Amino acid sequence: MKPQMITLHINGRTHYVALNPNQTLLVALRDLGYTDVKCGCEKGDCGACAVFLNGVAVNSCLVLAGQADEGEILTAAGLGTSEHPHPLQTAFSDAGAIQCGYCTPGMIVSAKALLDHKPHPTDTEIRDAISGNLCRCTGYAQIIQAVQSAAEKMDAGGEG
Amino acid sequence: MQSEIELHHPKNLAEALNLLAHYGPDGKLLAGGTNMVVELRDGHYNGKSLVDLSRLKELRGISKQDGYIVIGGGTTITELIDHPLIGAHAGVLKEAACLFANPLVRNRATVAGNLVDASPAADTAPPLLALNAEVQLMSQAATRWVKLEDFITGVRRTVLQPGELMVALRWPVPSARSAGAYTKVGLRKADAISVLSAAVMMTLDNTGVCVQTSIALGAVSPKPYRAHEAEALLIGKVLNTALITEAARLAAESTRPIDDIRGTAAYRKRVVAITVRRLLTKAAEVLK
């Protein structure tokens, strides 16, 4: 199998990598050190590997890295920094929406995808938006609270 | 991921058709990848050339042309949900799209991919069958339109030939005197594979006579299909409860379901009768 050279722009940094054509974007991201992108089911059921690819939230396990060549990728960690976290990152932490933390990056990606289009979602809309993200710890209640509280903060502060 | 593959990224449709013509039966299509990437990882498609269609702009877009709604084969399920033409002229398709897998999968999965995959439970098939959709198959040598009804021939089997790809779909803009209804029965609220699904469309004339109807069923036979006998019973008649119940019974009789992890054959047959009765009743009520 011949490796191919691809370019990935991840969280504002550009990487040139040689990858086998059957490598998924998920594996490529983790090998490059973006381990906030989690490997769960690897078939699109759990959402732990969700990232933004050219502005669209996708399961990185279902995208071949070659399909993302030249693409802009944003992971959950890329949304903010320790000094200036994104309101969603703060809200998940404050609301106790994180227990084991494995689903959190994917949840935050799906939540941001929702808030980008609907700044004031209902709880039902949040449930639908995260229906491709499994959490086995929290029972989802705190996650929904966290998204609501981030939506309020983003509305007040003009952030996000 | 041990399989030996080559991955090609054509820049336009002509290049994609050229690659498919070159590789013939060894050329496999990759669109949204929501099924294919999983199968690749499981080690299928050894020695195959994969042609990535996910960035071809020619395969995207939704428009109204000459009395038809025309959509590119590479249209994603999310694009169906968001586009006003689908909401206005294909409510049954929009409903199915909203219940398709989950939002992350809907952002990648394409309509053509769902149909070419030809699962008995393909979620876009019943609504598109009910809408009388046709699919456009293109190769380097020729282009042909095939009725969706004739496109899927069995479990994961279609009439798509090596070298061909599904570039577009179209269906006639439904009459203003028509209505549709859709149901998906799953084992959970989101991310469910259909236990069964059904879509109906119905047109009544101004005297209340049923002039057109379609009843399409998914996950209850080797392929999604139209229950023509049940439809024929209703054509030319003013609908009433007895007639609708009888049509629903005929639809259930036409199924060839299997027992599987999601439900038994007997359950599926029984629920088809109830579901089709409810859908026909709902569509008829909208048109009253």
Q: Distance between CA atoms of B216 and B152, rounded to whole angstroms?
A: 13
Whether B4 has a pLDDT exceeding 90, the answer reads: no
Task: Please tell me whether residues A43 and A21 are part of one structural domain.
Answer: yes
Q: How many CB pairs (< 8 A) connect A and B?
A: 92
Task: Please tell me whether residues A45 and A89 are part of one structural domain.
Answer: no
pLDDT tens per residue across span B165-181? 999 999 999 999 999 99
- State residue A48 phi and psi, 5-degree precision: -65, -20
Task: Please tell me whether residues A51 and A111 are part of one structural domain.
Answer: no
Task: Please tell me whether residues A85 and A61 are part of one structural domain.
Answer: no
Inform me whether the C-beta atom of residue A131 falls under 8 Å from chain B C-beta atoms.
yes
Task: Please tell me whether residues A152 and A140 are part of one structural domain.
Answer: yes
Q: How far is A116 from chain B (nearest CA, A)?
A: 14
Q: Which of A28, A52, A78 is the last residue of a domain?
A: A78
Q: Which of A31, A63, A78 is the last residue of a domain?
A: A78
| Chain B interface test: which of A46, A67, A130, A135 (most B C-beta within 10 Å) | A67
| Chain B interface test: which of A23, A70, A131, A147 (most B C-beta within 10 Å) | A131
The pLDDT score that the predictor gives to residue B47 is 63
Task: Please tell me whether residues A100 and A146 are part of one structural domain.
Answer: yes
The distance in angstroms from the start CA to the end CA of chain A is 42
Its domain, for residue A123, covers: 80-157
Task: Please tell me whether residues A93 and A132 are part of one structural domain.
Answer: yes
* Cα atoms found within 13 Å of the Cα of residue A66, Cβ hemisphere only: 24
On chain B, the residues whose CB falls within 8 A of the CB of A66 are 7, 9, 52
Task: Please tell me whether residues A32 and A64 are part of one structural domain.
Answer: yes
| Chain B interface test: which of A24, A53, A61, A64 (most B C-beta within 10 Å) | A64
Task: Please tell me whether residues A149 and A129 are part of one structural domain.
Answer: yes
CB B83 within 8 A of CB B94: no
Inform me whether the C-beta atom of residue A125 falls under 8 Å from chain B C-beta atoms.
no
Q: Distance between CA atoms of A48 and B247, rounded to whole angstroms?
A: 45
CB B84 within 8 A of CB A109: no
pLDDT tens per residue across span A86-131? 999 999 999 999 999 999 999 999 999 999 999 999 999 999 999 9
Q: Which of A78, A99, A133 is the last residue of a domain?
A: A78
**CB within 8 Å: B101 and A132:** yes
Select from B110, B123, B22 the least CA-distant residue to B73: B110
**CB within 8 Å: B32 and A43:** no
The pLDDT score that the predictor gives to residue A155 is 85
Q: Distance between CA atoms of A77 and A89, rounded to whole angstroms?
A: 9
Q: How far is A56 from chain B (nearest CA, A)?
A: 7
The pLDDT score that the predictor gives to residue B1 is 47
CB B214 within 8 A of CB B231: yes
The pLDDT score that the predictor gives to residue B256 is 97
Q: How far is B34 from chain A (nearest CA, A)?
A: 5
**Strand B210-218 with B225-226, pairing:** antiparallel
User: How does DSSP assign B78-107, residue by residue?
Assistant: HHHHH-HHHHHH-HHHHHHHHTSS-HHHHT
This prediction's pTM: 0.96
Task: Measure CB to CB from residue A21 to each of B6, B38, B101 and give the nearest one.
Answer: B6
Task: Measure CB to CB from residue A66 to each of B7, B105, B107 and give the nearest one.
Answer: B7
Classified as helix, coil or strand, B242 is: helix
CB B173 within 8 A of CB B133: no
pLDDT band at A158 (very low <50, low <70, confident <90, very high): low
Q: Distance between CA atoms of B74 and B79, rounded to whole angstroms?
A: 10
Q: Distance between CA atoms of B99 and B120, rounded to whole angstroms?
A: 16
Task: Please tell me whether residues A8 and A58 are part of one structural domain.
Answer: yes
User: How does DSSP assign A64-127, residue by residue?
Assistant: BGGGGTTEEEE-GGGG--SSS--HHHHHHHHTT--SS-SSHHHHHHHHHHHHHH-SS--HHHHH
CATH number at residue A126: 1.10.150.120
CATH number at residue A48: 3.10.20.30
**CB within 8 Å: A44 and B104:** yes
Whether A19 has a pLDDT exceeding 60, the answer reads: yes
Task: Please tell me whether residues A134 and A148 are part of one structural domain.
Answer: yes
The tokens 């909203």 sit on which residue? B98
Q: Distance between CA atoms of B217 and B251, rounded to whole angstroms?
A: 9
The pLDDT score that the predictor gives to residue B3 is 54
Classified as helix, coil or strand, B173 is: coil
pLDDT band at B237 (very low <50, low <70, confident <90, very high): very high
**CB within 8 Å: B30 and A64:** yes
Task: Measure CB to CB from residue B52 to each of A20, A58, A67 and give the nearest one.
Answer: A67
Whether A65 has a pLDDT exceeding 70, the answer reads: yes
Task: Measure CB to CB from residue B7 to each of A21, A59, A110 and give the nearest one.
Answer: A21
pLDDT band at B56 (very low <50, low <70, confident <90, very high): very high
Domain count of chain A? 2
Task: Please tell me whether residues A74 and A87 are part of one structural domain.
Answer: no
- State residue B223 phi and psi, 5-degree precision: -140, 155
Tell me whether residue A82 is exposed, middle or buried, using C-beta atoms within 10 angstroms of its C-beta: 0 to 12, 13 to 18, 19 or more: exposed
Whether A160 has a pLDDT exceeding 60, the answer reads: no
pLDDT band at B46 (very low <50, low <70, confident <90, very high): low
Domains detected in chain B: 5-52 (3.30.43.10), 57-172 (3.30.465.10), 182-287 (3.30.390.50)
Q: Per the structure block, which two tokens stand in for B152?
A: 């899927």
Whether B42 has a pLDDT exceeding 90, the answer reads: no
pLDDT tens per residue across span B110-153? 999 999 999 999 999 999 999 999 999 999 999 999 999 999 99
What mean pLDDT, rounded, does chain B reach? 95
* % pLDDT > 70, chain B: 98
